[in-house]
């Protein structure tokens, strides 16, 4: 299977420039250099901005492909692949947000310090996903049977999520955290937003450094799930990369938006598990029946939307108990 992509050198350069500009906006717009607690209003505003940017990019992509002389149906198909990939990656990133919340809660990280950790978390996620995307595309292009391996993996992951969705993880048993605590000098308290400090000429790591490592580790684990998922939609590296990057660019703002609402969307994890089951099944049926991208987009959207509505209705009838 030959590697094909709509991405021209000019499109790649243009998108990378856009990413750098958006990262600068994210850095200076959502927090700047001053540590502060991001409000719900601020987070909602930036979440809408990132989503509008993604939709605008999809529209520009469709227009550009038409201008390059491509068939209208081809331009529509590629645009639908981008939106479907974006929706899948955006949906799966929500589960990552709940893990961030668990990590911050475990380490009792003050809200004003969470901003910087998430900034580096997003930067790390972009780098890791870029490497994994290009490696993954090269592999599935050369070894088509890997699509079945990824499909089976996503099915197993979805089943696992269904059965342990409500199970809480004890970070005290995390082997990486145990190793860090036993091999590094860790301060007992936070030192503002610093990851390291020097005391009497000796380098010490702060608890915020441990938080950063756990956030990056969770990014890596979720990338292993989410990147194979988009291969069920397309193996075009440009579509895979752009949809992934747009999905995680607004991850920081989305975290601050949903951080206080996690209990209201407690059933969303089941919806995400069902999405993985659907995508895994789609990959396994790839050579038997190809589900149209527009149908996949509708199914994924319906699953996520219904799980959010049901969660909200359930929480309205059974409000979560407030912790003292």
Q: Which long-range contacts (CB under 8 A, 24 or more apart) does 132-135 make?
A: 132/223, 132/224, 132/227, 133/227, 133/237, 133/240, 133/241, 133/244, 134/237, 134/241
**118 with 31: CB under 8 angstroms?**
no
Cα separation, 264 vs 21, in Å, equals 34
86-95 b/e (C-beta count within 10 Å ≥ 16 → b):
bbbbbbbbbb
Mean pLDDT, residues 296-323: 75
H helical segments located in the chain: 9-29, 40-67, 72-107, 111-142, 146-164, 175-183, 207-230, 237-249, 251-258, 268-284, 293-317
Q: What is the per-residue pLDDT for 262? A: 63
Cα separation, 160 vs 323, in Å, equals 29
Phi then psi for residue 23, to 5 deg, are -60, -40
Q: What is the per-residue pLDDT for 92? A: 81
pLDDT tens, residue by residue, 249-277: 888 888 887 776 666 666 777 888 888 88
Is pTM, for the whole model, over 0.85? Answer: no
CB 121: neighbour CB atoms within 10 A?
25
**44 with 260: CB under 8 angstroms?**
no
HSE-CB of 248 using CA atoms within 13 angstroms: 27
Cα separation, 116 vs 108, in Å, equals 15
pLDDT tens, residue by residue, 224-235: 777 888 888 888
**94 with 254: CB under 8 angstroms?**
yes
Query: Given pLDDT bands bounded at 50, 70 and 90, which one contains residue 27?
Result: low
The residue among 152 and 102 whose pLDDT is bigger is 152
Crossing angle of the two packed helices 72-107 and 251-258, in degrees rounded to 10: 50
Query: Given pLDDT bands bounded at 50, 70 and 90, which one contains residue 324?
Result: very low
Cα separation, 77 vs 4, in Å, equals 15
Cα separation, 192 vs 206, in Å, equals 9
All residues at 6 or more sequence positions from 280 whose CB lies less than 8 Å from its CB, including other chains? 150, 151, 152, 153, 154, 155, 156, 157, 158, 232
What is the residue extent of each domain of the chain? 9-317
Mean pLDDT, residues 68-86: 91
pLDDT tens, residue by residue, 146-173: 888 888 888 888 888 777 755 666 677 7
Query: Given pLDDT bands bounded at 50, 70 and 90, which one contains residue 318?
Result: low
* Out of 168-177, 223-232, 312-321, least confident range: 312-321
């Amino acid at each position: 299977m030959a590697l094909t992509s709509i991405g021209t050198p000019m499109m790649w350069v243009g998108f990378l420039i856009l990413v750098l500009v958006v990262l600068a906006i994210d850095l200076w717009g959502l927090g700047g250099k001053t540590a502060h607690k991001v409000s719900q209003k601020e987070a909602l505003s930036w979440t809408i901005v990132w989503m509008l940017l993604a939709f605008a990019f999809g529209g520009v992509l469709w227009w550009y492909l038409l201008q390059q002389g491509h068939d209208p149906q081809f331009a529509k198909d590629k645009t639908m692949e981008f939106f479907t990939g974006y929706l899948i990656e955006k949906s799966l990133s929500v589960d990552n947000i709940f893990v961030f919340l668990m990590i911050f809660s475990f380490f009792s990280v003050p809200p004003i310090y969470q901003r910087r950790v998430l900034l580096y978390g997003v930067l790390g996620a972009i780098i890791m996903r870029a490497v994994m995307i290009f490696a993954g595309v090269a592999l599935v292009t050369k070894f088509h049977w890997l699509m079945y391996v990824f499909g089976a993996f996503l099915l197993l992951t979805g089943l696992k999520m269904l059965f342990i969705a409500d199970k809480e993880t004890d970070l005290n048993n995390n082997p990486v955290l145990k190793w860090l605590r036993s091999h590094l000098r860790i301060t007992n308290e936070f030192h503002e937003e610093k990851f390291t400090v020097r005391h009497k000429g000796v380098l010490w790591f702060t608890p915020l450094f441990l938080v950063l490592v756990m956030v990056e580790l969770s990014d890596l684990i979720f990338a292993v799930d989410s990147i194979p998922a988009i291969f069920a939609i397309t193996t075009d590296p440009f579509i895979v990369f752009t949809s992934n990057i747009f999905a995680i660019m607004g991850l920081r703002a989305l975290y601050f938006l949903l951080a206080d609402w996690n209990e209201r969307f407690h059933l969303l994890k089941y919806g995400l598990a069902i999405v993985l089951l659907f995508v895994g099944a789609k990959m396994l049926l790839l050579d038997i029946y190809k589900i149209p991208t527009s149908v996949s987009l509708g199914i994924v959207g319906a699953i996520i939307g219904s799980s959010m509505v049901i969660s909200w209705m359930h929480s309205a009838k059974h409000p979560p108990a407030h912790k003292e």
